Amino acid sequence: QKEVEQNSGPLSVPEGAIASLNCTYSDRGSQSFFWYRQYSGKSPELIMFIYSNGDKEDGRFTAQLNKASQYVSLLIRDSQPSDSATYLCAVRGTDKLIFGTGTRLQVFP
Amino acid sequence: DTGVSQNPRHKITKRGQNVTFRCDPISEHNRLYWYRQTLGQGPEFLTYFQNEAQLEKSRLLSDRFSAERPKGSFSTLEIQRTEQGDSAMYLCASSTPNQPQHFGDGTRLSIL
């Protein structure tokens, strides 16, 4: 079992819809969770982080964490074509980040 | 805050050559991380420093790889006797303790 698992996609949504990206992790003791966006050929860019159970909202983005079920999700409201990218879920283990393989999101006009 | 800076952006070299990459972290960040990313995969941890001390190394970091951060500021990652399998994007990130890591633009290494 991989430590951090994501569906590789692609996830295709129409412009204006809500995109829902999911991630599960294996280490029950994990405390810190991150979502990075990565455009093709570029480096990861931090968009959200969450440490406590529940929801955390920042603009069009909402991160959701459920430690009992060991999953973390990212919702993108009012999706735009510019949101098309790969979204990487990461979990902090000791001090390093452990990444999933990423989910490719495609937002079509 | 100029962000994390990495040089060079691209490196093409022949198999068997040595290469060195440089990373300049965000100035107030005392933690510096190196990751490697291949196509279709998430970044994989290689090593990290707190100030000048190298605190953890992945088993991915073979004897051909060495990293330094001599004065607790910039860091270098050297790969000796490069192999085809070393072709990847090498990413540097920095942070303060328990804060999110911010990545540089990366160095793309291609082995001919």
C-alpha triplet A108, A34, B44: angle, nearest 5°: 95
Judge: A96–B43 Cβ closer than 8 Å, yes or no.
no
Backbone angles phi, psi at B98, to 5 degrees: 65, 15
Q: pLDDT averaged over chain B?
A: 95
pLDDT of B61 higher than 90: no
- What element of type H or E holds A74? strand A71-76
* Each residue's pLDDT tens digit, A47-69: 999 999 999 999 999 999 999 99
Please state, in angstroms and rounded to a whole number, the distance separating the CA atoms of residues B67 and A54.
39
- What is the predicted pLDDT for the residue at B60? 81
Please state, in angstroms and rounded to a whole number, the distance separating the CA atoms of residues B103 and B29.
12
Please state, in angstroms and rounded to a whole number, the distance separating the CA atoms of residues A43 and B76.
18
Whose CA is closest to A92, among A65, A59, A57, A56? A65
Judge: B42–A49 Cβ closer than 8 Å, yes or no.
no
- What is the predicted pLDDT for the residue at A1? 63
Instruction: Give the distance from residue B99's alpha carbon to the nearest chain A alpha carbon, in angstroms.
Output: 10
* pLDDT per residue of chain A (109 residues) written in tens, 0 to 9: 679 999 999 999 999 999 999 999 999 989 999 999 999 999 999 999 999 999 999 999 999 999 999 999 999 999 999 999 999 999 998 889 999 999 999 999 9
Q: CB–CB of A51/A98 below 8 Å? A: no
Location of structure tokens 């430590």: A3
Q: In this complex, is the C-beta atom of B1 within 8 Å of any C-beta atom belonging to chain A?
A: no
Q: Which of A32, A42, A96 sits opposite B33 (nearest CB)?
A: A96
Scanning B45-64 for CB atoms below 8 A from A yields 45, 48, 55-56, 58
What mean pLDDT do residues B79-100 have?
95
